[in-house]
């Protein structure tokens, strides 16, 4: 009888690509299922359209009457798309999105019904949300949480449901999601950046943070996935010896995309395009069966919604193609993990990218202002940046010599480094002579040219300047970008406010504006120097050097998360009105809990797989060997038989040694789990799971993986890496 693994493998060999043909051009499909501006113009009376436009652009409140009109238009439009239900679509702190569907349909009398949807239903909903994580903010007996409409992100139809992007708050008004603090952070950076822009251009009235994410993921066949309880339950292979061939040949990277995969990509991209997600780039990644998808960048809040939608669409579409998408940061030990680079910049309403060098000294001084302030923000708040990307999954990636290290630093390239050094040394204290000013301006004017040939790219830096944007590379592939974007935009806003204050003081003292700005920049450059690193972030030398510089290397999530209860951090988020101390505390607790739960589930699966899958296979094989030895002894007699069975006996002993070590470590882990469960405090428990439980994982796996190499291939129950990573 074939084992589960053999059946699964047979399934894979029988698969053919599922091509789905679309008629028409992709450009004609773009945004077809989105209630965007143009649709609103068509469906709304003109005064309602104007209020809606106002509300989207300036965040003004929509009057009740207008909300009714918008709801009615939204419903009429959604019905033409075949929608029967609507849902408030929100981002609880679990990391994915949530929805609760209600029908438009409403019975209004015997045998009579209408399709109903009004302003009340659009603006607010009360999902029974008692089981979403809330860090103790909401007791379950007052389980009310509210979702409230975010008009700045357009509604859309998926399948037969109208989805309305919303924030998620508690009965007492505290945020329970990523969207609400993100909107606040974006507002803060808008205000602070607009103020600073006034030094350079009075026409700037709004600054949008922009986000362009790059989503990495693995694909594996559904049947193989189903035969691996670890992948099913944790998204990561907790066992499995590396395949003889990994990624060393680099033959997968940018190679031709297999047919089955291409068919899957075409379908999920088309779905994405219908939903207005501007996906443009796809390619193979470094590891076998690893891929990447990236869109054009967009305004940050919308871009984040789009990323969450995309992850959802990818997972659904993959099933149709008999694949499973693995978004985990490190599904397979020994080959690269997955990240989600967050490309970030600031764009003005006048069409200027504030992190792109300009054509003349004036626009370059503006560029330098935003550039240097970003570096200073990173320098001052590196710990918070580390914490906002911390997760059980990302711990396997950061610092694992193929992903950015857990030490936060910024890479800006040798040319810009040279320029900052020059400013640091050449801006004179006191009044500058006209010659000195001209000299400096000439140098600043050279920025675009020097960037043109600035081709050095540093893939080992967690935070890299790439010519016209910063790329935060340490974000994990499962993460809600909101977490990183809340922090980045908040610390930037905070830094810009401080900068403006200092420059204004200098101007009040009689310094000319440009000189005041340059001197302030010089000060920031000096103060933030230690965060700049141009070398190899994977090297051991960097770990030593970083320590000398006083940069932290927080290797695991529980240590990184501690920063959220630091007084300075609490004040920062409170002062900036992004998160109250209570909200911050709740978030920290949720993060600790998330970590504990993830490790706890992994520990259970490890125990289960060892006990009920690996041990039986090992015993089976040992029995086979023992029978063989017994047979040899019986036929050949003890002396000759022992000589003939030498290799088998040695093998039996090797297997027993690994078997015993695996089993006894698994037992130790079980005891440790019981001890860790006794901690009641979220932080202590997370630390216990990290230091007492997780420490055993590698040892157990080491022996299990050795057994995989020793035991008869026919008997091994778990699909092997070579099967999961090299079949298409
Ligand atoms: P690569 O990094 O692969 O060379 P690009 O530099 O073209 O590719 O861009 C990578 C990502 O950065 C893309 O997703 C793109 O949308 C995004 N991006 C480009 N410009 C900006 C910007 N001003 N703000 C935010 N993201 C941007
Ligand atoms: Mg990139």
pLDDT tens per residue across span 270-297: 999 999 999 988 888 878 899 999 999 9
Which atom of ligand 1 lies at the shortest distance from residue 295's CA? Answer: 14
Which ligand 1 atom lies nearest to the CA of residue 466?
A: 6
- Indicate the top mutation candidate among 295, 303, 343, 473 to test ligand 1's pocket, ranked by most ligand atoms within 8 A of CB: 343
**Tokens encoding 625:** 């060997």
Give the residues across from 464 on adjacent strands: 411, 471
Contacts of residue 256, defined as CB under 8 A and 6 or more positions apart, other chains included, come to none
How does residue 442 score in pLDDT terms, banded at 50, 70 and 90?
confident
Between 603 and 250, whose confidence is greater?
603
Mean pLDDT on 355-380: 93
Mean pLDDT of 613-634: 96
Interval 367-372 mean pLDDT:
96
* The pLDDT value given to residue 23: 66
Name the 3-class secondary structure at 653.
helix
Any ligand 1 atom below 6 A from CB of 214: yes
- Which of 9-13, 100-104, 271-275, 439-443 shows the lowest per-residue confidence on average (mean pLDDT)? 439-443
Ligand 1 centroid from CA 441, angstroms: 29
DSSP code per residue over 440-488: HHHHHHTHHHHHHT-----TT-SEEE-SSSEEETT-BTTS-HHHHHHHH
**Does ligand 1 come within 6 angstroms of the Cβ of 208?**
no
Tell me how far the alpha carbon of residue 354 lies from the centroid of ligand 1, in angstroms: 14
- Model confidence over 65-99: pLDDT tens digits? 888 999 999 999 999 999 999 999 999 887 788 88
Note the pLDDT tens digit of each residue in 20-34.
Answer: 766 667 888 999 999
pLDDT in tens, 236-261: 999 999 988 777 666 666 667 888 99
| Nearest ligand to the CA atom of 470 | 1
Give the pLDDT of residue 250: 63
State if residue 285 touches ligand 1 by the CB under 6 angstroms criterion.
no
> For residue 404, what pLDDT is reported?
81
Is residue 355 within 8 Å of 449, Cβ to Cβ? Answer: no
Cα of 342 from ligand 2 centre, angstroms? 8
Give the per-residue pLDDT at 455: 46
Inform me whether the pLDDT recorded for 432 exceeds 90: no
Q: What is the pLDDT of residues 114-170, one digit of tens each?
A: 888 888 888 888 776 666 777 777 554 455 788 889 999 999 999 999 999 999 988
Relative to the alpha carbon of 277, which ligand is closest? 1
What is the 3-state secondary structure of 62-95? CCHHHHHHHHHHHHHHHHHCCCCEEEEEECECCC
Mean pLDDT of the chain: 91
Q: Which of 530, 323, 509, 527 is nearest to 424 (CA)?
A: 527
Rounded to an integer, the average pLDDT of 184-205 is 97
* pLDDT of residue 462 exceeding 80: yes
Ligand that lies nearest to the alpha carbon of residue 283, given by its number in the listed order: 1
pTM for the predicted model, two decimal places: 0.94
Would you state the pLDDT for residue 106? Answer: 84
Interatomic CA distance for residues 196 and 277, integer angstroms: 31
**What's the CA-to-centroid distance between 390 and ligand 2, angstroms?**
20
Find the ligand nearest to 352 CA.
1
Question: Cβ(466) to ligand 1 under 6 A?
Answer: yes
Q: Is 370's C-beta closer than 6 angstroms to any atom of ligand 1?
A: no
Q: Which helix (H) or strand (E) holds 635?
A: helix 615-636
- Residue-level pLDDT at 625: 97
User: Are 326 and 217 in contact, with CB atoms under 8 Å apart?
Assistant: yes
Tell me: the pLDDT tens digits for 290-347? 999 999 999 999 999 999 999 999 999 999 999 999 999 999 998 899 999 999 999 9
The ligand that comes nearest to the alpha carbon of residue 296 is: 1
Pocket mutation for ligand 1, best pick of 186, 277, 469, 485 (most atoms within 8 Å of C-beta): 469
Mean of pLDDT values over 485-502: 98
Residue 456 has pLDDT above 60, yes or no: no
Dmax (CA) for the chain in angstroms is 106
- Please give the number of the atom of ligand 1 that sits closest to the Cα of 213: 14
Average pLDDT on 354-383 reads 93
Question: How far lies 316's CA from each of 312, 320, 665, in Å?
Answer: 6, 7, 38
Question: Atom 13, ligand 1: which residue's CA is nearest?
Answer: 212
Q: How far is the CA of 20 from the centre of ligand 2 (A)?
A: 30
- Predicted confidence (pLDDT) at residue 1 exceeds the cutoff of 70: no
Query: Residue 253: what pLDDT?
Result: 62
What pLDDT shows up at residue 60? Answer: 81
Arithmetic mean of pLDDT, 693-720: 97
Among the atoms of ligand 1, which is closest to the Cα of residue 211?
A: 25
Q: Quick one: what percent of the chain has pLDDT higher than 90?
A: 69
Contact between 204 and 222 under an 8 Å Cβ cutoff? The reply is: no
Average pLDDT over residues 44-65: 87
Any ligand 1 atom below 6 A from CB of 468: yes
What number does the ligand 1 atom closest to the CA of 343 have? 26
Task: Report which ligand 1 atom has the smallest distance to the Cα of 214.
Answer: 14
Domains of the chain in sequence order: 31-174 (3.10.20.70), 186-237+247-579 (3.30.590.10), 594-724 (1.20.120.1560)
Atom of ligand 1 nearest to the CA of 297: 16
How far does residue 214's CA lie from ligand 2's centre (Å)?
Answer: 7
So what's the pLDDT on residue 530?
Answer: 95
């Amino acid at each position: 009888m074939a084992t589960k693994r053999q059946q699964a493998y047979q399934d894979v060999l029988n698969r053919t690509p599922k091509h789905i043909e679309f008629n028409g051009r992709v450009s004609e499909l773009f945004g077809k299922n989105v209630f965007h501006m143009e649709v609103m113009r068509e469906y709304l009376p003109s005064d309602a359209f104007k209020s809606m436009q106002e509300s989207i652009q300036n965040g003004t409140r929509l009057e009740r009457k207008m909300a009714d009109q918008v709801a009615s238009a939204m419903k009429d439009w959604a019905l033409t798309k075949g929608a029967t239900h609507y849902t408030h679509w929100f981002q609880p702190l679990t990391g994915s999105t949530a929805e609760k569907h209600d029908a438009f349909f409403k019975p209004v009398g015997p045998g009579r019904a209408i399709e109903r949807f009004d302003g009340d239903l659009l603006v607010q909903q009360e999902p029974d949300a008692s089981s979403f994580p809330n860090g103790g903010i909401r007791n379950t007996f007052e389980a009310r949480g509210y979702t409230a409409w975010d008009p700045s992100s357009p509604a859309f139809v998926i399948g037969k449901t109208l989805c309305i992007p919303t924030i998620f708050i508690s009965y007492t008004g505290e945020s329970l999601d990523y969207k609400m603090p993100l909107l606040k952070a974006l507002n803060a950076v808008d205000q602070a950046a607009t103020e600073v822009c006034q030094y350079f251009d009075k026409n700037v009235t709004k600054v949008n943070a922009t986000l362009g994410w790059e989503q990495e993921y693995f694909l594996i066949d559904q049947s193989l996935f189903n035969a691996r309880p670890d992948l099913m339950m944790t998204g990561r292979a907790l066992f499995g010896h590396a395949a003889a061939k990994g990624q060393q040949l680099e033959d997968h990277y940018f190679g031709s995309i297999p047919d089955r995969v291409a068919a899957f990509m075409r379908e999920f991209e088309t779905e994405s395009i219908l939903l207005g997600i501007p996906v443009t780039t796809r390619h193979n990644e470094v590891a076998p069966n690893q891929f990447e998808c990236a869109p054009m960048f967009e305004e940050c809040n919308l871009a984040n919604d789009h990323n969450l939608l995309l992850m959802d669409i990818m997972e659904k579409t993959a099933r149709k193609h008999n694949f499973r998408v693995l978004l985990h940061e490190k599904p397979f030990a020994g080959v690269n993990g997955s990240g989600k680079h967050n490309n970030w910049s600031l764009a003005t309403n006048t069409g200027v990218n504030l992190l792109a060098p300009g054509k003349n000294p004036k626009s370059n001084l503006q560029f330098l202002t935003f550039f240097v302030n970003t570096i200073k923000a990173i320098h001052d708040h590196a710990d918070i940046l580390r914490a906002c990307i911390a997760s059980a999954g990302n711990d396997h990636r950061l610092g694992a010599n193929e992903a950015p290290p857990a030490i936060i630093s910024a890479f800006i390239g040798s040319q810009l480094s040279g320029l900052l050094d020059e400013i640091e040394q050449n801006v004179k204290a006191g009044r500058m002579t006209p010659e000195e000013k001209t000299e400096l301006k000439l140098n600043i004017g050279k920025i675009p040219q020097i960037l043109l040939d600035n081709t050095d790219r540093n893939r080992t830096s967690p935070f890299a300047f790439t010519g016209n944007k910063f790329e935060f590379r340490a974000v994990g592939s499962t993460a809600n970008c909101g977490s990183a974007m809340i922090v980045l935009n908040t610390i930037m806003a905070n830094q810009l406010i401080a900068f403006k204050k200092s420059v204004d003081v200098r101007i009040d003292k009689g310094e000319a504006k440009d000189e005041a700005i340059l001197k302030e920049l010089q000060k920031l450059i000096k103060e933030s120097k230690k965060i700049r690193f141009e070398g190899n972030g994977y090297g051991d030398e960097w770990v030593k050097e970083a320590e000398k510089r006083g940069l932290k290397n927080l290797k695991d999530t529980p240590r990184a998360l501690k920063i959220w209860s630091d007084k300075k951090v609490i004040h920062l988020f409170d002062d900036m009105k992004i998160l109250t101390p209570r909200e911050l505390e709740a978030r920290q607790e949720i993060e600790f809990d998330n970590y504990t739960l993830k490790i706890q589930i992994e520990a259970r699966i490890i125990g289960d797989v060892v006990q009920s899958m690996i041990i039986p296979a090992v015993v089976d094989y040992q029995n086979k060997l023992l029978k063989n030895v017994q047979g040899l002894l019986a036929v050949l007699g003890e002396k000759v038989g022992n000589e003939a069975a030498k290799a088998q006996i040695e093998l039996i002993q090797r297997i027993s040694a690994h078997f015993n070590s695996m089993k006894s470590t698994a037992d130790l882990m079980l005891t440790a789990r019981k001890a860790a469960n006794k901690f009641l405090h979220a932080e202590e428990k997370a630390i216990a799971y990290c230091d007492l439980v997780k420490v055993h994982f590698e040892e157990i796996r080491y022996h299990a993986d050795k057994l995989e190499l020793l035991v008869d291939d026919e008997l091994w129950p778990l699909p092997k890496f070579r099967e999961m990573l090299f079949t298409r």
